[in-house]
Every structure is written in structure tokens, then in C-alpha cells.
Amino acid sequence: MTAGGFDGVERRGLMFVLSSPSGAGKTTLSRMLLEREPGLKMSVSATTRSMRPGEVEGRDYFFVDKPKFETMVEQGELLEWATVFDNLYGTPRAPVEAALSAGQDVLFDIDWQGTQQLHQKASVDVVRVFILPPSAADLEKRLHTRAQDSDEVIRGRMSRATHELSHWAEYDYIVVNHNVDDAFAEVQSILKAERLKRERRTGLTEFVRKLQRQLEK
């Protein structure tokens, strides 16, 4: 069997983007996808921040200095990049392209700005999914339940959520996360359907021609 799902048809991989306001469940859904979808791997970003204890080069991040990062930007080696808390983060193009060509799907946990850049550079390969909370009250409750942030930080995240939500219409699919298992089932269904799209099946034309030749005999 090939990556396309049946003999003779190979499949080009896709970039599967999950975005959401903080606390809406994007990270949990990403983890579930990686655990249950063997053909999916997480995109590894390049960053200028220092390596933290326990992190591994090439697994967690590609750690580079600022001049190297800026050179990567200038030479078009990044699919998307952004500045976050004085550090630079970006997605190297080469490993993603290699994965897609091999029929491997790549998962992106990025915000709307990164998604816009990704779509501008590789729209045919990108599938964009936006995760919504069922209500503002639910989102605030989830942020408090995490017990990782102060009330001031949570208020900041709620304020940013308003801005992030304004970009919902730029996404291909919207999933409302009432329940994480139901939301996961929807996200998984989207991934499976996108994998079956005709334009991703690189050997389909030859497969059909071969079938036609067989029928004409």
C-alpha cells in the first residue's frame, strides 16, 4: 500500500494547521492527533531563544543565532516567521518540503499571522482549522483551571482572544470545542477527508490511464 491508500497512487503530504485563542484546546487536540495519527508529525521551528533543560536540537527546535535566522529570512528559507517576546521563531522550508514530497503530513500549532504567511507561500498544501471555545465564560474558566497564570495574565489572554477571533473567516474549517473528544473526532475527520482530495494524489492520473488501457483490451 502507498500513502495514497491504494496500490499505484501516491499522495503528497499536507500542512495541517490548528489555531485558536489560548485556552480553547488547540494544544490538547494537537497532542491527540500526534498520538493517534502515525502519518502526522509536528513541525519543528527554528528559534533564536536559548535551549532549555531537557530540550533536544532538531526535536524541540532548531536553535540558531539571530544573524543566522535573519539570513534564513532573507534567503526565503522560512515558510513563516514571527517575533515572540524578543525572540524570533520560524518554520524552515526544507524539512517540511521533504516531508510533503514523501507523503508525510505536517502539523502546525501557529497563530493567524503564521497561518497567513504559510497560506501565501504554499496555499495548495495548507489546510487551516480554527478551534473556538463554546463561550467566553468557558474560555475564561479553562484559563483559570490551568492555574498557571495570574489574573492579570488571564485578562491579557482574554483581550488577545477577541483580536484572534476576528480572523476566524480566514480558515477552511471551524471546530467548536464543546467537548474535547467530539472536537477531536471532527478534526480527525477533516484530516482524513483532506488526505483523500484528488489533487493530493500524485499518481492518480497514471492509475486511471492504466485502468482505461486495461478496459480497452
Task: Answer for the pair 131, 24: CB distance below 8 angstroms, yes or no.
Answer: yes
The average pLDDT across 120-144 equals 89
Flag whether pLDDT at 159 surpasses 90. Answer: no
110 pLDDT exceeds 70?
yes
For each of the domains in the chain, give its residue range(s) and CATH number, in order of start: 15-43+105-210 (3.40.50.300)
Q: What is the pLDDT of residue 15?
A: 98
**CA atoms in the 13 A half-sphere facing the CB of 198:** 4
Please tell me the pTM assigned to this model: 0.86
Residues 110-133 have a mean pLDDT of 94
Who wins on pLDDT, 20 or 138?
Answer: 20
Torsion of CA 141, 143, 149, 154, to 10 degrees: -80
